[in-house]
Structure 1
Amino acid sequence: MSPVALSNLVALAVSASLAAAQITGTFPATPLASKGPFAYPTGIPYKVDTDVGLIRGTQIGYNICNSTTEGQQSLCQTSFLNSLDDFCLWAPPEMGREVGDIEGSMIAWCTKPGHGTRLIPAGALHGVQFTKTPDYVQVVGFIDQTQINILAGDFGGEMDPHGADLRGNPMGGIVFTNQFGGNFIQGIEWHNFMGSNTFCFKVCDPAGPSAADYCEHIFDRIGCAYNAPNNARNGTFESCDGESQDFPGIYTSNGQQLP
C-alpha cells in the first residue's frame, strides 16, 4: 500500500472516530421535567434543552418567543393553555412525516397571536371543550389536522415533558398557564395527544400534591378518552368547571379505587 493510500485510510478512520465521539449518550444530565420552573417571560432561556452529543440531536427550536418570532415560520417551543379561545397545540413544523416519528421536533401552534408562535388557521378547529378542575385544566376537541401539518389519517401520538430519554417531546418544550392564581406559571406536568383529527391537552397545577398522577404520561397508546375524560362534541365550543378525574390507570368501583 502506498504512503498516500495509507494516509487516506488513517484520515478516514480519524474522521469516523471523531464523528462517533460526538454521540456521547442518551440521557441528559438534567431531565426536562426537572428544569425550571422558569419565570414568565423574563426567566425563560433561549433554549431549555442545551444538551449536545445525545442520540436525538439538539433542540430544533427556541423558547424565547415574541413578536419577532411570531408567524407561520416560527419554531417556538413554548406553549400555553389558558382558556377556551387561548391555547396551543404541539404539531410539526412541516408536512411530510407522521407524528410518532417526530414528536421531539414538534412546535407550538396557538389560537391567538401574542405568544410568538404559529397560529392555528381559522376554521381548523371544529369543536372544543375547555375544562377547569381543582387539579388541572384541559382542552379537548376536533381539528382538521392537515392545517397544522399533521398528515391526513395519522393516528398521531403523545407529547409530554418526559419521553423515553427524559428530554421530553418536544425536546425543550415548556408550557405555561394563567389558570392557577392569575399569573403565568410553568406547568411542569402536562400531556398533549394529537391525531385522528382530535386532540387533548392537559396541564396540571404544579402546586398540587398529585400533578404527576393527574398528568400521567405512560398510557400514550390509549388516547384522550382514557387520559383526559371529556364530553367534547364536534361542532360545539364550551367552557366548563369540572371535578378532577381519577388518576389515569386508576378506577373507582363502589367507592373503592382499583389499580
Structure 2
Amino acid sequence: MSGLRILVPVKRVIDYAVKPRINRANTAVETAGVKHSMNPFDELSIEEAVRLRERKVPVEEIVAFSAGPPKAQDVLRTAMAMGADRAIHVTVEENKGDLEPLGVAKLLKQVVQQEKSNLVILGKQSIDDDANQTGQMLAGLLNWPQATQASKVTVENEDVTVIREVDGGVETLKAKLPMIITTDLRLNEPRYASLPNIMKAKKKPLVKKTLADFEADVTPRLKTVKVQEPPPRKGGVKVEDVDGMIGKLKELGAL
C-alpha cells in the first residue's frame, strides 16, 4: 500500500460553549467580539488522521485546509499543533460570509486533485450552519465511495472499514481507497495541543491562497431572509393522575 495522503478540512466557528446572539438586523448570528474555535467535528477528523499514523498505518502526509477569514489561520495552527504536517488557507473576505456547502465541495475537489489526496476526513457538519452536506457533495463530485458519521475507522492496505451508528444498532461499511469519511462524536477524544507542539506548529508550512487561485464556482445560491431566536418555552403544568393527563392532552389536541 502506498502512503496515505490525508486531507482534513477544518472550519473556524463560534465556540461551542458560547450562546449565539442574533444581530440587530436579524440577518445572521453576531460574530464580532465572540470567541471562535475549531469546529468540534473537525477536531475529531484531525485526531483520527493522527491516530492512523500512530497505529502504524502508512501515512505520507496530513494536510489541514480551511477557507475563511484571515483569523481562520488560528484553527489551522491548532490542527498542525495536533499533528497535521502542513496547512492551506484560502482567504475569504469576512464581509462575504461563509461559503455554502456546494461551493466548499467544489473547492475541496480541486484541492484534492492538486494535492493528490487519497483520503479525505472531515466533520459530518459544522455547528454553525449544521448543513451536513459537504462530505456527501464532495464524494459525488469526485465519484469516490463515502462513509458518513464514522464511529470507528480501520485501514488495512487499500481497504477501509468504517463502523457507523444507525437507528437501532451499528452498520459496517467497507470500501477501497480513495475515499471520503465524515466523523461523528463517538469516533475519538481529541487531544489537547501541548505547548511544545504549539511552538513547533509555528514553523510548519502554511500556504495562503485566494479564491482566484481556483476555478471553483462558489457563487451563493441561497439568501438568508431572516434569522430569529426560537420562542421561549412555556411553563409546564402538573396533573393529579392519568385521567388528568389524558384530559390535558385532548385539550391540547394531542389526542
Larger helix proportion of the pair: 2
TM over 0.5: no
TM-score scaled by structure 1?
Answer: 0.25
- Structure scoring higher RCO (CA < 8 A, sep ≥ 6) equals 2
**Normalising to structure 2: TM-score of the pair?**
0.26
